[in-house]
Structure 1
Amino acid sequence: MKQKIHPENYRPVVFKDINNDKILICRSTVKTKDTIKIDGHNYPLYKMEISSYSHPFFTGEKRFLGKTGPAEKFKKKYEKFKKFK
């Protein structure tokens, strides 16, 4: 095993899901600008847009985007350029 290839700055970090304000504290090397105080301790804070607390796969929530998908929207958007050929 190679020596001195792993980061030295592992520390407890708070990962916060901004969709539902759930938090998870685990060790990480992620760089953060914000901090949060929990139970009298200051932790670095990393804000996430999605986590297992809010992802539809884990929550079982079904979301429908509408009748047209991304491919249909793309075709419709660039349909006007076909006229010039």
Structure 2
Amino acid sequence: MKDGIHPNYRDVCFVDLSNGFKFVTRSTVTTKETIKLDDGREVPLMKLETTSESHPFYTGTQKSIDSLGGRVEKFRTKFARAGIPGKK
């Protein structure tokens, strides 16, 4: 095999920010942070917004978040005037 063409795989800890779920797998991702695991190893840390532990497709639940303060309501009002029926 040629030298210098293969990626540098190493153990990386991925953390789901929505529920704290952690898993370790081999990856080439570049990170700035590290985490010390329960077994004493210090590995790079990659923070994720969602994983299979929190994604609605895998969990079977759905969250409705209106974090922008009424944007959904503005959308519904706008299209209610256009004559498109909405949920009642």
Identical aligned residues as a percent: 41
Indicate the residue corresponding to 1:41 in structure 2. 41
Cα distance, 1:65–1:19 mapped onto 2, change above 3 Å: closer
The alpha-carbon deviation at position 65 of structure 1 amounts to 6.2
Tell me the TM-score normalised to structure 2 length. Answer: 0.66
The two structures, once aligned, show a CA RMSD in angstroms of 3.3
What are the superposed Cα offsets for residues 26-50 of structure 1, whole Å, 9 maximum, x if unpaired? Answer: 0000010110001100000000000
Once the two structures are superposed, the pairs formed by residues 1-85 of structure 1 within 5 Å of their partners are 7-38=6-37, 39-64=39-64, 73=75, 76=78
What are the superposed Cα offsets for residues 21-74 of structure 1, whole Å, 9 maximum, x if unpaired? Answer: 0011000000101100011000000000000000011111133468xxx7x829
Structure 2: 5+ residue stretches without partners: 67-71, 82-88
Over 4 Å off, 4+ runs: 2-6
The alpha-carbon deviation at position 7 of structure 1 amounts to 3.8
Tell me the TM-score normalised to structure 1 length. Answer: 0.68
The alpha-carbon deviation at position 76 of structure 1 amounts to 2.6
- C-alpha distance in 1 between matches for 2:76 and 2:29: 36
- C-alpha distance in 2 between matches for 1:50 and 1:16: 9
Counterpart of 1:21, as a letter, is G
Question: More helix per residue: 1 or 2?
Answer: 1
